[in-house]
Amino acid sequence: QKEVEQDPGPLSVPEGAIVSLNCTYSNSAFQYFMWYRQYSRKGPELLMYTYSSGNKEDGRFTAQVDKSSKYISLFIRDSQPSDSATYLCAMSTGGYNKLIFGAGTRLAVHP
Amino acid sequence: SQTIHQWPATLVQPVGSPLSLECTVEGTSNPNLYWYRQAAGRGLQLLFYSVGIGQISSEVPQNLSASRPQDRQFILSSKKLLLSDSGFYLCAWTNTGEGGYTFGSGTRLTVV
């Protein structure tokens, strides 16, 4: 079993839709949870960062962490074609320990 | 502000040739440095990481090696490339201790 599981998609939605991206994990020691966005042929860029459980909102993006279920989500409201990218979840136990990445979900938002 | 530079952006190399990819970080000191490889349609595979000059930890035994000759310089090398070494190589750094990495723009390596 992988430490972090993420459906690779692809996920195709119409412009304006609400997008839900998810990851599950097995290591209960994870405390730091991140979402990265990666455009084609580019390096990943940090999109959202959450410590422990709860929600965090930044514009059209909301990150949720449910540590009891070992489940994290990223919601994108009013999705735009410019949101078309691969979204990778990542998590760490902290203290300079390594980030563990999911496989990434490819999202396509069509006009 | 901190920046990370990675070069070259694209590289086509024949099987059996050597490899040297370089990564430098500016605007910070004593960063943790990482080399990742991303195969087409796959996730990120950690290859090497370093917490200080001359210190290298290897995650996956393979045809590659890494070195950190200076505080903000990280080099990925190979003496003889294999076809299986093709992929997208990413350098990353952090110094927050909270896990968030900043990635470079990557090198797309094709071994022919």
The reply to whether B99 touches chain A by the CB within 8 Å rule is yes
Chain A residues with CB-CB distance to B97 below 8 A: 94-96
The per-residue pLDDT for A93 is 86
The answer to whether residues A78 and A66 touch, using CB atoms and an 8 Å cutoff, is: no
Report the chain A residue with the minimal C-alpha distance to residue B48.
Answer: A98
Contact (CB<8Å) A98/B105: no
The per-residue pLDDT for B25 is 96
Placement of tokens 């994290």 in the chain: A72
Q: Is A38 helix (H, G, I), strand (E, B) or coil?
A: strand
| pLDDT digits 0-9 by tens, A34-80 | 999 999 989 999 999 998 888 999 999 999 999 999 999 999 999 99
Q: What sign has the CA pseudo-torsion A61, B41, A44, B55? A: positive
For strands A4-5 and A85-92, give the pairing.
unpaired
The reply to whether A7 touches chain B by the CB within 8 Å rule is no
DSSP 8-state secondary structure symbol assigned to residue A99: P
Q: How far apart are the first and last CA of chain B?
A: 38
**Nearest Cα to B107, choosing from B36, B25, B50?**
B36
